[in-house]
Amino acid sequence: MSEPGGNTYRPWEPERYRHEAQSPAGKLPEGDLVFFLLDTVPRLALQRFYAPYEEETRGAPPFDPAMMVCLLLYAYCLGVFSSRKRALACERHLACMAIVGQERPDFRTISDCRKRHLEAFKDVVVQVVRLASEAGLVKVGNVSTDGTKIQGNASRHKAMSYGYMKQEVERLREDSETLVTQAQQQDESDDAALGSRRGDALPAELTRREDRLARIEAAMRRVEAQARAEADAERKRRAEAEAERMRAGKPRRGKEPKPVDESPSEKAQSTFTDPELHIMPTNNKGWDDCGNAQARVDETCQSIVSCDVTDASNDKQPAEPMGQATLSTLGQAGIELLRDDTGASQAIPATLDSGYDSEAAVLALETLGFDPSMATGRQRHHDPGAVPQEPATAQARMAAKVQTPKGKALYARRKVIVEPVFGQIKDARGCRRFLLRGLDHIRGEWRLVCLTHNLLKMWRYGCVVHAV
């Protein structure tokens, strides 16, 4: 089976494999996940996966991209994220053998296919959301957003604190000066003994030190940039708090706060194996190099309608981008929003936890057409709350909204919409660490995880697959 085009692919005939006398498919249950994917993948538009091979005429014919997509989706559904394990499964796992037949790709081919087509899976995400909507699994009711920290592929032993970086830079510069002096003395000695020489080649030891010095200085610049960003965020937070205090007419308590310091802490760290990740607090009260994986989930059947990974440790910044991504996915999938009696689009209910609480996040979501409900901090038991008097800030309105009976009932749904999704992904499927490096690659990897989450929902609900 091949898409029309100028290239020839190795034959992929899963339907024929299924009817062979000794077919692995004959030994699997009738409703197995692999048959659902074998019926679904040929109905997806995979032109972006075929395009890179159409102009290539060298070498043997490539594997059919549809087969590789099916294999990747099946492996991610089962929580098999290693390319070597996927290649081994093609030789020993009945379901994988039912996908690939006798044409079994090695681990390098599988790994390269994933890296090469991470961006192309964006189209597949939209198509699967469309299929889920047609099957009644996405109805754009209460959409809930949350984030979870997932460990990156970075070594703790390859990280360095800002304080130690400064010491190491000084030491390396002193060593470099000593080596330069020694090299000059050696040159003079050689000139006296052997005549003139070019003298433009640096000693190997000096080259290694200069390379290490350059990498450490680059890490220092990253830490300093992060410290400046955090300082800007703190100034913004103080300005919002001061504006609220002035609006409420409350006197300032305590001493005047000290000016925000933009210099990094001596203990601030950066890793050299994946510099785009930051040290973040984890659920075990420790610290690690993580990506902040975001997901926005529809309440109907816990389908993910948008996802992303950020390098921010808190959730305030991703609130607006996640809202924009949700509207983009729904629009591309052709899912119409609910409308009132006048025909105007209704605001989409959106529930978020207190990690997203900020004036900017609330206003941005409301501007995009959402009706956000988010906790503005830990609420006291039996606190009836008070309706704020006008004029009120967006945060004050949020605090009042989630204290009303209707607001409480809506917000209570958040924990049964989005939080189980992370449990299904991290505990049931074992996705607790990214294997790729670099924020763009990590986003593609998370996109694959969320895409296969939706496919599993469709399979478990027994949905009929329609042509895209």
Residue 74: strand, helix, or coil: helix
d(CA 436, CA 440): 9
Provide the pLDDT confidence category of residue 21 given band limits of 50, 70 and 90.
low
d(CA 303, CA 306): 9
Q: Give the model's pLDDT for residue 178.
A: 74
Closest CA relative to residue 221, chosen from 270, 266, 176: 270
Residue 246: is its pLDDT beyond 70? Answer: yes
pLDDT in tens, 326-356: 999 999 999 887 766 666 778 889 999 888 8
Residue 110: is its pLDDT beyond 80? Answer: yes
d(CA 2, CA 113): 16
Residue 395: is its pLDDT beyond 70? Answer: yes
CA angle 369, 370, 374 (to 5 degrees): 155
Cα 213 versus chain centre, distance: 31
Q: Give the model's pLDDT for residue 263.
A: 82
In this prediction, residues 374-381 reach a mean pLDDT of 65
Residue indicated by tokens 């895409």: 451
Q: What is the pTM of this model?
A: 0.80
Q: Give the model's pLDDT for residue 379.
A: 53
Euclidean distance between the first and the last CA atom of the chain, given in angstroms as a whole number: 17
Residue 241: strand, helix, or coil: helix
Mean pLDDT taken over the chain:
82
Q: How far is CA 298 from CA 35, 132, 146, 454, 463, in A?
A: 26, 11, 12, 11, 17
Closest CA relative to residue 217, chosen from 269, 176, 165: 165
Q: Is the dihedral of CA 316, 320, 137, 442 positive or negative?
A: negative
Q: Give the model's pLDDT for residue 308.
A: 94
Residue 46: is its pLDDT beyond 60? Answer: yes
d(CA 395, CA 372): 11
pLDDT in tens, 146-156: 999 998 887 77
